[in-house]
Structures are given as structure tokens and as C-alpha cells.
């Protein structure tokens, strides 16, 4: 009759068969004494009869099945059985069982977290943003805490900095929430979503509309607002900047201002930018350069051939940013009418 193996020896056999990475992860969950004992057993293994290995693995498999059965028991299994046996009364019966379980077993697993209605969870981000715009921060924090992480993050990104901080603070401070509160919030949002869906949406080019309004505020005010937007909404700020501040605004450069720009801009950047500009803009720069410098610039422009539009726009944006910077510092001055439309 074969000698009975100790628990440590059986553990050593299993660990020796599951691979080094898996074995190392198992050892992380043991205390120092257990790790020492099991590793000593592993080090002492030389050769064991194949039937012994099979016997240990079979015992291990049976233990796994038993533990799996315990994990599957409880509310999840009860709900599945009720759903099959009496689907119409499953929720009511589980509702009666749940409070009793909490009283009988206060240390048991917590109830599943409350959920928002599916219609709210699946709603487009922009519609949710419209719904939550007038809600108090605590309600917004609750909704974001129950939405999928990516959708919640997109909603946070649409808020201003102060709102994001306040909503995040309240979300992080949550310890528990009453399921009836979630149900009430979900019901209200569902009703408001239905109302929104019934109202036809009128298309509106928000970017162009905002740019038109900022244009009439004047370039300095427009630049200030765009810079403030860039901190929290960089993509939106870039779209507005591209409409508000174009290469054509350089028509407002006087000769002295053009000379100041020429001192600070790289010739290759200017050559690339002028490849996409009209003759009037060419003239502004060429008449403020020496004949030799102008000839070199023309040769560089010819050498470029037909550059990509993206490269031309990048070069123009570099010069536009330089001009805006110089104007803000008071080094140059642009004619306001060059960029402000009636």
C-alpha cells in the first residue's frame, strides 16, 4: 500500500505541474512558513510514480469542483432557479428573500449595486449631457458612478473644470446609496429622455456660430476666450482658432510690423506658408526684404515644388501664432478690420 502523502507534498506536486508563473502567483497568497514548507517539498521531489501524480491531480480537481459549487450557490443561483420556475414572481420573491438574508447573515456578501435603466445607460452622451446640465452635482455624481466608465469619462470631459472637480469629489465621497433613490433618478431621466426624443432636433453649426460671435467681439477678446477654452477643451479651442485666426489676417500687417515678423520667422517656414497664399500676401513680405533675401526666398519656394496641404497649413499656423504672440506683447499691431467681419 503506497504511503499517504502530506498536504504540503500534494501542494508541492500540484505547483510543480502548473508552471513557474502560476506557481509563483499561488505562493504569493501563502504566509512565510507555508512558502518555506512547500518549497522544501518541491526541492525534495526527485521522482514520483505517475499514478501518484494522477491521484493528487484528481483530488485537486474534486476540490475545485466542490469550491465552485459553493461559489455558484446563493442569490445568483436562487434568481436563476426562480426565473425558470416562476418567472413572473421571481423579482417579488427575491425582494422578500433579500432583507431576510441581510438580517440572518450580516457578514454575508453585499447586495449587487443598483443599476440605472437600460434606456439611460444606452443614451447618447450628448443627450445625457443635456439632461444632467441642470441637475445638482450630487445627482450628476450618482449617475456617473453608475454609468460605464468610458461614457462617464466622456460626460466629465464635457464639463468645465469646476464642475469636473466638484462632481468627482462627490463621486469619490460616496459610501452607499439607497436603491430607491437610484430607481427614482432613473425613472426621471428615462421620462426626460422620452420627451427629448419626441422633440425634433434642428441642425446647428455650433463651431461656426461661436466663431461668428467671437469675431465681432474683436481679436483680443476672441484670443482670450480661445486660450481659456484650450485648458479644458483643446479640440474645441483648436477648431475655433482655425476659423478666427487665418493666414489672411496678415493683410493687416504694416511694413514695420512685417519686418518684425521677418526677424523672428524661419525662412523655410515662410517659404512653405507662402506657397498656399495669394500674391497680395507675397507682396507684404517681399517688399520688406532685401533684394538678395527676396531672391533666396523665391528660390526656396520654387525648390519646394508642390508640398502637401497639411504641411502648408502647419507652416501658416506657426506664423499666425507668432503674429498673435507679438501683438499680445505689443510688439506689432494688426488692423482690426482685417479679421473682424461686420
**Residue 268 to residues 84, 86, 156: CA-CA distances in angstroms?**
75, 78, 42
Instruction: State the number of CA atoms in the 13 A half-sphere of 22 facing the CB.
Output: 8
Q: Examine residue 83 and state whether it is found in any structural domain, yes or no.
A: no
CB neighbourhood size of 74 (10 A):
13
The verdict on 182 and 219 lying in the same domain is: no
Query: Does 74 reside within a domain?
Result: no
For 273-317, what is each residue's pLDDT tens digit?
888 788 888 988 999 989 998 899 888 888 888 888 888 889 889
> What pLDDT was estimated at residue 73?
37
Residues 139 and 217 in one domain: no
What does the alpha-carbon distance between residue 132 and residue 155 come to, in Å, rounded to a whole number? Answer: 9
**Other CB atoms closer than 10 Å to residue 320's CB: what's the count?**
21
d(CA 190, CA 194): 6
pLDDT tier, 198 (very low <50, low <70, confident <90, very high otherwise): low
Both 247 and 134 in one domain: the answer is no
Query: In this structure, is residue 108 part of a structural domain?
Result: no
The pLDDT of residue 318? 92
Give φ, ψ of 334 to 5 degrees.
-105, 145
> Based on the structure, what is the number of domains in the chain?
3
| C-alpha–C-alpha distance, residues 211 and 227, integer Å | 14
CATH of the domain at 266: 1.10.220.30
Task: Specify the DSSP class assigned to residue 341.
Answer: -
Task: Select from 131, 160, 195 the last residue of a domain.
Answer: 195
Measure the CA–CA gap between 213 and 2, rounded to whole angstroms.
91
Q: Tell me what the pLDDT averaged over the chain comes to.
A: 76
CA dihedral 117, 119, 125, 128 (to 10 degrees): -70
Determine if residue 140 is left, alpha or beta; phi over 0 gives left, psi from -120 to 50 gives alpha, anything else beta: alpha
The per-residue pLDDT for range 127-144, each reduced to its tens digit, is 888 888 888 888 888 888
Average pLDDT over every residue of 26-47: 74
Task: Tell me what pLDDT residue 126 has.
Answer: 85
Q: What is the DSSP letter of 253?
A: B
Give yes or no: residues 125 and 227 share one domain: no
pLDDT at 342: 35
Residues 222 and 132 in one domain: no
Please tell me the predicted confidence (pLDDT) of residue 72. Answer: 37
* pLDDT > 60? residue 76: no
Partners of 334 in the beta sheet?
A: 253
CB 337 within 8 A of CB 249: no
Arithmetic mean of pLDDT, 185-213: 74
Report field, pTM of the whole predicted structure over 0.85? no
152: how many CB neighbours lie within 10 A of its CB?
19
If asked whether residues 155 and 263 sit together in one domain, one would say no
Q: Which has the higher per-residue pLDDT, 35 or 145? A: 145
In a domain, 308, yes or no: yes
Q: Residue 31: which domain range?
A: 7-68
Of the pLDDT bands very low, low, confident and very high (cuts 50, 70, 90), residue 341 is very low
% helix, strand, coil for the chain, step of 5: 75, 0, 25
Mention every residue, 6+ apart, whose C-beta is less than 8 A from residue 163.
Answer: 137, 140
| Residues 190, 213 within the same domain | no
Domain stops at, among 139, 172, 195: 195
Number of helices followed by number of strands (H, E) in the chain = 20, 0
223 and 319, same structural domain? yes
β-strand partners of 253: 334
- Whether 213 and 317 share a structural domain: yes
d(CA 74, CA 109): 10
The pLDDT-based confidence of 225 (bands split at 50, 70, 90) is: confident
DSSP label of 112: P
**Is 104 contained in some domain?**
no
Assess whether 300 and 226 both reside in one domain: yes
**pLDDT > 90: what percent of the chain?**
1
Q: Measure CA 317 to chain center.
A: 28
Q: Helix, strand or coil for residue 304?
A: helix
Amino acid at each position: 500500500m503506497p504511503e499517504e502523502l502530506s498536504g504540503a507534498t500534494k501542494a508541492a506536486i500540484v505547483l510543480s505541474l502548473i508552471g513557474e508563473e502560476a506557481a509563483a502567483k499561488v505562493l504569493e497568497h501563502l504566509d512565510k512558513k507555508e512558502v518555506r514548507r512547500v518549497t522544501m517539498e518541491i526541492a525534495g521531489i526527485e521522482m514520483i510514480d505517475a499514478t501518484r501524480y494522477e491521484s493528487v491531480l484528481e483530488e485537486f480537481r474534486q476540490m475545485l469542483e466542490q469550491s465552485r459549487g459553493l461559489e455558484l450557490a446563493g442569490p445568483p443561483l436562487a434568481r436563476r432557479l426562480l426565473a425558470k420556475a416562476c418567472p413572473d414572481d421571481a423579482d417579488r420573491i427575491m425582494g422578500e428573500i433579500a432583507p431576510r438574508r441581510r438580517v440572518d447573515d450580516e457578514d454575508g456578501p453585499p447586495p449587487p449595486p443598483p443599476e440605472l435603466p437600460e434606456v439611460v445607460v444606452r443614451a447618447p452622451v450628448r443627450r445625457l449631457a443635456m439632461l444632467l446640465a441642470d441637475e445638482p452635482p450630487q445627482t450628476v455624481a450618482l449617475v456617473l458612478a453608475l454609468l460605464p466608465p468610458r461614457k462617464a469619462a466622456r460626460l466629465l470631459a464635457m464639463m468645465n473644470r469646476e464642475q469636473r472637480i466638484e462632481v468627482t469629489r462627490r463621486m469619490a465621497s460616496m459610501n452607499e446609496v439607497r436603491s430607491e433613490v437610484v430607481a427614482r433618478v432613473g425613472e426621471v431621466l428615462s421620462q426626460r429622455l422620452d420627451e427629448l426624443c419626441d422633440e425634433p432636433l434642428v441642425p446647428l453649426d455650433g463651431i461656426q456660430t461661436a466663431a461668428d460671435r467671437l469675431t465681432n467681439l474683436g481679436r483680443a477678446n476672441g484670443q482670450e476666450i480661445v486660450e481659456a477654452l484650450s485648458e479644458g477643451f483643446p479640440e474645441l479651442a483648436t477648431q475655433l482658432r482655425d476659423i478666427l485666426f487665418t493666414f489672411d489676417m496678415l493683410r493687416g500687417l504694416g511694413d514695420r510690423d512685417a519686418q518684425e515678423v521677418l526677424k523672428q520667422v524661419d525662412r523655410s517656414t515662410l517659404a512653405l506658408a507662402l506657397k498656399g497664399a495669394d500674391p497680395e500676401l507675397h507682396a507684404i513680405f517681399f517688399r520688406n526684404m532685401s533684394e538678395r533675401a527676396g531672391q533666396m526666398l523665391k528660390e526656396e519656394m520654387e525648390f519646394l515644388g508642390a508640398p502637401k496641404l497639411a504641411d502648408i497649413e502647419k507652416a501658416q499656423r506657426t506664423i499666425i501664432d507668432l503674429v498673435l504672440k507679438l501683438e499680445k506683447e505689443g510688439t506689432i499691431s494688426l488692423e482690426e478690420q482685417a479679421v473682424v467681419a461686420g
